[in-house]
């Protein structure tokens, strides 16, 4: 397995002045970094410099993103759906350029947009049709689309691994996989072990988050259940420590971060990496 960290752990964005985050990854023994391709980040993302420095440091780059209301592929508004598909295709192009084989995250519906109701049949069908088209585009770039179920406070469309598996079946395209997140699972799943087992061979990305989004290994996540399930399904891809710079105005409100999550961002990366190495050794992964 490879251990990484989310790109907004230290900074609210990734600009030419933020490449020190790659040095941080190297310092704490990480294998790579997850570069968020959110719309506001793309505007200043130094693709060439990021790719060059990562190569110099021997780090891998992987990518994620999230849809907004204006790029909703489940909308009744055809223009929004077309805009959303174009956005995802652009993300795929950037992912390919950075050497990433995946785009993970909330890429099936707008992130942190709630309607006060359940998803509708027409929203579901719009999602299926849109992601089939985008998946075919992703196939040409050899990039997987990894769908992340999120908790009920961040989204209403996809909340559990079981729902994710059903959506994958209906899309019916081998380029579409699942992305699980222990913070989300802690809220929505009956069992951590069961959720990973349900994802099975379709699990392609995993966010390692404490129950309070602080240092992995603290809080009350059932890590032994998760790693036991990893072992049984043969999961051998990325474990990404996901936490956020607490004063990020673009993310903080959506994930409801109103306090410091640890002593420092360095502590989250350093101690989180150490904890994951111990768990990998324990389960011989």
Task: Report whether 84 contacts 123 (CB < 8 A).
Answer: no
Cα angle: 57, vertex 63, 65; to 5 degrees:
145
Q: How far apart are CA 278 and CA 284, in angstroms?
A: 10
Q: Which helix (H) or strand (E) segment is 239 a member of?
A: strand 238-241
- pTM for the model: 0.96
Coil, strand or helix at 228: helix
Residue by residue, pLDDT tens for the chain (285 residues) are 999 999 999 999 999 999 999 999 999 999 999 999 999 999 999 999 999 999 999 999 999 999 999 999 999 999 999 999 999 999 999 999 999 999 999 999 999 999 999 999 999 999 999 999 999 999 999 999 999 999 999 999 999 999 999 999 999 999 999 999 999 999 999 999 999 999 999 999 999 999 999 999 999 999 999 999 999 999 999 999 999 877 777 776 778 778 888 899 999 999 999 999 999 999 999
Residue 122 burial (CB < 10 Å; 0-12/13-18/19+)?
A: exposed
C-alpha distances in Å from residue 27, one per residue of 92, 160, 246: 29, 35, 21
Which residues are catalytically annotated? 148, 242
Domains recognised in the chain with CATH numbers: 2-282 (3.20.20.150)
Helix axis angle, 47-57 relative to 20-27, nearest 10°?
20
Rounded to whole angstroms, how far apart are CA atoms 44 and 255?
23
């Amino acid at each position: 397995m490879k251990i990484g960290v989310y790109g907004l752990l230290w900074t609210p964005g990734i600009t030419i002045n933020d490449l020190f985050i790659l040095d941080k990854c190297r310092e704490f023994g990480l294998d790579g970094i997850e570069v968020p391709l959110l719309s506001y980040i793309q505007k200043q993302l130094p693709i060439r410099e990021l790719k060059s420095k990562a190569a110099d440091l021997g780090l891998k780059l992987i990518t994620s993103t999230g849809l907004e209301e204006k790029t909703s592929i489940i909308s009744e508004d055809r223009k929004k759906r077309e805009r959303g598909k174009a956005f995802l295709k652009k993300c795929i192009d950037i992912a390919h350029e950075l050497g990433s084989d995946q785009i993970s995250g909330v890429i099936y519906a707008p992130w942190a947009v709630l309607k006060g109701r359940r998803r509708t049949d027409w929203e579901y069908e719009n999602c299926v049709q849109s992601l089939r088209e985008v998946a075919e585009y992703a196939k040409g770039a050899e990039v997987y689309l990894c769908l992340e179920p999120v908790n009920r406070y961040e989204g209403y469309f996809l909340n559990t691994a079981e729902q994710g598996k059903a959506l994958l079946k209906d899309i019916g395209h081998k380029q579409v996989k699942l992305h699980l997140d222990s913070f989300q699972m802690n809220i929505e799943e009956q069992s951590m072990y069961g959720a990973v087992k349900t994802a099975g061979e379709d699990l392609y990305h995993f966010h390692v988050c404490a129950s309070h989004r602080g240092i992995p290994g603290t809080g009350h996540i059932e890590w032994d259940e998760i790693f036991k399930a990893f072992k049984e399904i043969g999961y051998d891809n990325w474990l990404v420590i996901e936490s956020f710079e607490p004063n990020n105005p673009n993310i903080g409100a959506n994930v409801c971060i109103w306090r410091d999550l640890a002593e420092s961002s360095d502590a989250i990366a350093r101690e989180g990496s150490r904890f994951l190495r111990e768990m990998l050794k324990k389960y011989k992964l």
